[in-house]
Chains A and B, each alone.
Chain A
């Protein structure tokens, strides 16, 4: 009850607040019309406020065990949604244009999770970039503004879900809409929408404090982990002319060792078979995983002290992976969008010189699998599949590595500005909390942070990019990007769990010594 009262109160004084802000920024706002328009842009979403479902935030702190249970249950639901085929599909055997995006968006072809988390991620990215570029004037201190911002995100996500569902069904992904009939088409759209809506609610439930953290990143990480696990332990068999072979690397390894008479050759085949996942890939994956975990511990510790409470000293850690997996996610999103557009354009106009410059697509001779870029811009930013490609086209390798590292560093530096973790923001927070750097003047906090944070962000981004490139060259199970994303997410969850006190003290000390 108390909460409600406060909200009414805040909404009644809101006008005054906004007016005073307007007064203050009058000279700034009256500059361009577009800025004033966008001030109202957020208010457009106000009518939706009363109708959008919203998970109630927990009244008090949810105990750790309950958090674990909620996380587990929502994960289970997500996984079931990801395996349940849609009702009413005729076929889903056409070539998959979204192949590059699937792992990142936690979506599975032909299942209820066809859209995955893509509408949510897209809307959240759109709004955060709008805010980062100051096109959307959100007053972070104002509670009502923040609420509106969230509502706008949610409305946008729902609209995007509807749009994507309609496009997926009408574009003939599941058979021609004419063959399906109107009723089944509507049913398909409804299923896709409702499934995405449930994911939206599950994510909200998780991030509101019932779960351990953001649901989206958890779903993505789980999907990737599931794929890696499947590639290592798949019990399915493939018959390609020379008898049945197990798809899973580990299972094939033991099977070959047990069945074949010539153990040496069996070992060689289990480690180097090129048509299916092999043991070498498993080892590379484990190696990359452990190496990323090791790098996660790298941090610069800034000694700080409080000016409000004397004698309170501590450290402020600035991690090497300052922006975590954000740069690699953005880089993957960028490249997959370029691939998507290039592929579609190439299918429509295969002989246009400009489009051929963007990318020429086709299947490489002797290599199964999806279409690949054979030349053009898309070819140079396409991740390599093995070390063999380095000597074949060294120029491509150099360009690719430079592109990934550069883009990651750039995105990382941009992201700190957008997400409110730039040196200026941190310095402001220090000032609010009365923290200063030990042994430095109070006025030089910003200067010190400016020396450290942008460098850490850029270098961290480049490191993440380098790791991704390396794991692509090593040929890990799944792409390097996806492994990095899974590892960083899982580590983030581990850190959160450690902070919550879910593990015993000894365990953390032991692990941190290990790191």
Chain B
């Protein structure tokens, strides 16, 4: 490891790069699939924009619970109809 003194050109460059990255992130969210990270081609037919709208905000865990609860309720309906069919 060669020891370079702190400061100087390299530090400036690093700072500038960090600032650039920060600027880019502060700027708006990607406006196309390409900017969203699919370099060189549009890989997907769906979803051009992935912005946040200020609607009814849902946590992803809530979505999971909703889905599982729904599946269980459908299973329960099947089971109940089977059991009542057997009993009566």
Contact = CB atoms under 8 A, between A and B. Distances in A.
A309 interface: yes
A168 interface: no
B78 A201 contact: no
B5 interface: no
Contacts of B29: 143
Contact of B40 (A77, A85, A140, A319): A319
A452 to B, nearest CB: 11
A158 interface: no
B56 A421 contact: no
Contacts, number: 173
Interface residues of B, number: 46
Given A81-B71, A87-B74, A56 B58 contact: yes
A52 interface: yes
A323 B42 contact: yes
B15 interface: no
Most A Cβ at <10 Å: residue of B34, B43, B44, B59: B43
Contact of B53 (A85, A150, A201, A415): A150
19 contacts: A50-B54, A52-B53, A53-B55, A56-B57, A121-B46, A124-B45, A147-B54, A149-B49, A151-B53, A194-B70, A201-B67, A205-B60, A205-B63, A207-B47, A317-B39, A323-B41, A325-B45, A492-B43, A496-B37
Interface stretch (A19-27, A213-221, A243-251, A466-474): A213-221
Contact of A198 (B55, B60, B70): B70
A80 interface: yes
B47 A429 contact: no
Specify the main secondary structure of chain A where it touches its partner.
Answer: helix
A198 B57 contact: no
A237 interface: no
B77 interface: yes
Interface of A: 3-4, 7, 49-57, 70, 73, 77, 80-81, 84-87, 112, 120-121, 124-125, 128, 131, 140-141, 143, 146-147, 149-151, 191, 194-195, 198, 201-202, 205, 207-210, 213-214, 216-217, 299, 309, 316-319, 321-326, 329-330, 415-416, 419-421, 425-426, 429, 488, 492, 496, 499
Given A205-B63, A499-B37, A51 B55 contact: yes
Closest 10 pairs between A and B when the two form their complex, measured CB to CB: A54-B55, A147-B53, A87-B77, A419-B42, A420-B32, A52-B55, A317-B40, A322-B41, A201-B63, A492-B43
Given A198-B67, A207-B47, A56 B41 contact: no
B11 interface: no
A150 B56 contact: no
Contacts of B49: 146, 149-150
Contact of A321 (B41, B54, B70, B71): B41
A7 B37 contact: no
Nearest to A499: B37
Nearest to B32: A420
A140 B34 CA distance: 14
A429 B34 contact: yes
